[in-house]
Amino acid sequence: MSHLDHTPSTPGKFKIDKSPYYSRTRWHSSVAKLTLWSFLFVAIIFLFFYRSPSSSSNNPPSSDPSRRYLASATWGGAAWEKRVRTSARIRSRNGFSVLVTGAAGFVGTHVSSALKRRGDGVLGIDNFNDYYDPTLKRARQALLERSGVLIVEGDINDVALLKKLFDMVPFTHVMHLAAQAGVRYAMQNPGSYVHSNIAGFVSLLEVCKDANPQPAIVWASSSSVYGLNTKVPFSEKDRTDQPASLYAATKKAGEEIAHTYNHIYGLSLTGLRFFTVYGPWGRPDMAYFFFTKDILKGKSIPIFEAANHGTVARDFTYIDDIVKGCLGSLDTAQKSTGSGGKKKGPAQLRVFNLGNTSPVPVTDLVSILERLLKVKAKRNVMKLPRNGDVPYTHANISYAQKEFRYKPTTDLQTGLKKFVRWYLSYYGDKKAAVR
């Protein structure tokens, strides 16, 4: 593959008036406050427990092989610094210089490519952990390198590395997409979520607050923060104090941490609540991805149903639409107001839903895959387990529409067709064809 996924190019910057930023959400009850501080206290305990003295900031606990990544990666030197500066160099008028964390990830790769295409300077950072097949991440890395984007191999908890990058490049923006993803995996390895989603976020914000100039930060929260909320569609104004998984709790904690750094240090922060992102170069742990794999192999696939044989549905959002939302958020992000760790005025604080607004039953997703693959799925219907999954998601995107004209345009049928085409090309499966 010489380019991303046969998908259309992402439009350039949005040239619209900047409307007042979203008002900050406050805790309205003592119960909510207690929940927040209790969770943060537990998080601190996890940090001390999982980050033992023998573990460097670039090495998650060695007792957990599922979180290993290359510790031998080195950085520094004249040649390396030249590559960093070249990758981050702005090539368009009024362009940005953007540090993209998690750049070898699914969303990170697409966003980095779109930024580079429109002339922004882009530098990536990724630790290439093996939560899922690192080979896929390396393939994404090669894809970006061919377009001129360098991904520095390192961890966002490595403060020395982050400071070095900021010393070399005056980043105007940070697109923070690095995170430990997945709802179910939190039951197996809770420490990895605290390490990446809380400690990693704080490490990044600490470096950003001390930078001069401070960058504007756009970061990935999650629709999972809505948790057990039964009001649909989900609005940014809805309560988010009932997380159904540790993953959701760490993302909610991230939103509160963002509020803190905005309030104290004047950092401009925009959180994006993604709704079930799918598409080419996606994550193998996502249902649409491993359904495709197992259907082709003739294996049975789990189809969950809610209580009383209820429908499980997701607001599936195609990657191109998510990228447009990410770029729209960057383009409308106001500058941070601090300097050298000191706040000089109120700063922008926002959170947006980025979804498709059209929830689709998982059974319909499977039917579409059957038609595209020309293979009948072996469905194993079972009750939705109590592992953090929720039965239904639906995004209200009116705020993003108002702020930067966010408008998803890809339906599930069209998006899955593009995904399947990429999947068959990437993995070389010639037994099925896309209609």
Is 392 in the active site?
A: no
Phi then psi for 360, rounded to 5 degrees?
A: -125, 130
From 247, 265, 392, 406, the catalytic residue: 247
CA distance 192 to 365: 30
CA distance readout (Å), 271 to 131, 222, 309: 24, 9, 35
In one letter, which amino acid is 9? S
How many other C-beta atoms lie within 10 A of the C-beta of residue 417? Answer: 17
Do 7 and 280 form a contact (C-beta atoms < 8 A)?
A: yes
Tokens linked to 157: 């908890």
Which among 231, 227, 259 is positioned nearest to 240, based on CA atoms? 227
Distance of CA 168 to the CA centre of its chain: 25
CA distance 110 to 79: 27
SS3 percent helix, strand, coil of the chain, rounded to 5, is 40, 15, 45
Tokens linked to 294: 């197992």
Q: Which residues are catalytic?
A: 247
